[in-house]
A = this chain, B = another copy of it.
């Protein structure tokens, strides 16, 4: 928030992500949604945020194609907020955030949950980044290259 500086038109994909979902509430809303929360009141109760903020965030996430509203589902004629594929695509980001806390937090004993494989209840492994030919990569093994000029699409002038 305090969206004084918007990174919407920054050419760094990290900045663009942050512009879209880089605030506490959006991430946490998506986290809840991944657990199946879909109703306004549920989000509000579980996250404890002000309702007006929730309204704004839900609308922003919907506008960005991260959530979509479905007419109903559980009888009641209200609507519910469901993740789109783009929204579900946030999962690895949340896992990365979680694992960073688990690894580096100085009070790990306060962390109350672990992410497990549903199949057998075992903790998942750390997220791993591989090269095309299967080598495990760390931060130092990578570099940034300019994009290959992109096929010059219709410029989005407006």
Residues of A within 8 A of B (CB): 1-2, 5, 7, 9, 11-20, 22-24, 27-28, 31, 34-35, 48-49, 65, 85-86, 88-107, 109-133, 135, 137-147, 150-151, 153, 156
How far does the alpha carbon of A122 sit from the alpha carbon of B49 in the complex, in Å? 44
When chains A and B are docked, how far (Å) is the Cα of A19 from the Cα of B129?
Answer: 25
Contact partner of A96 (CB less than 8 A), chosen from B7, B107, B113, B127, is B127
Task: Tell me if A127 and B14 are in contact (CB < 8 A).
Answer: no
Number of copies of this chain that the complex holds: 2
Q: Which B residue sits closest to A151, measured CB to CB? A: B109
Interface contact B147-A98, CB-CB below 8 Å: no
Top 10 A-B pairs, shortest CB-CB distance: A13-B101, A11-B112, A91-B139, A17-B97, A117-B131, A93-B96, A86-B104, A96-B96, A113-B144, A13-B98
Q: Is the CB of B90 within 8 A of A100?
A: yes
Distance of A35 from chain B, by nearest CB (Å):
8
> CA A99 – CA B26 in complex, angstroms?
18
The docked-state distance in angstroms from the alpha carbon of A94 to that of B112 is 25
Can you list 17 A-B contacts (CB < 8 A)?
A5-B24, A14-B28, A18-B24, A18-B27, A20-B101, A22-B23, A85-B104, A89-B100, A91-B138, A92-B129, A93-B96, A110-B156, A114-B146, A115-B144, A117-B142, A124-B130, A125-B131
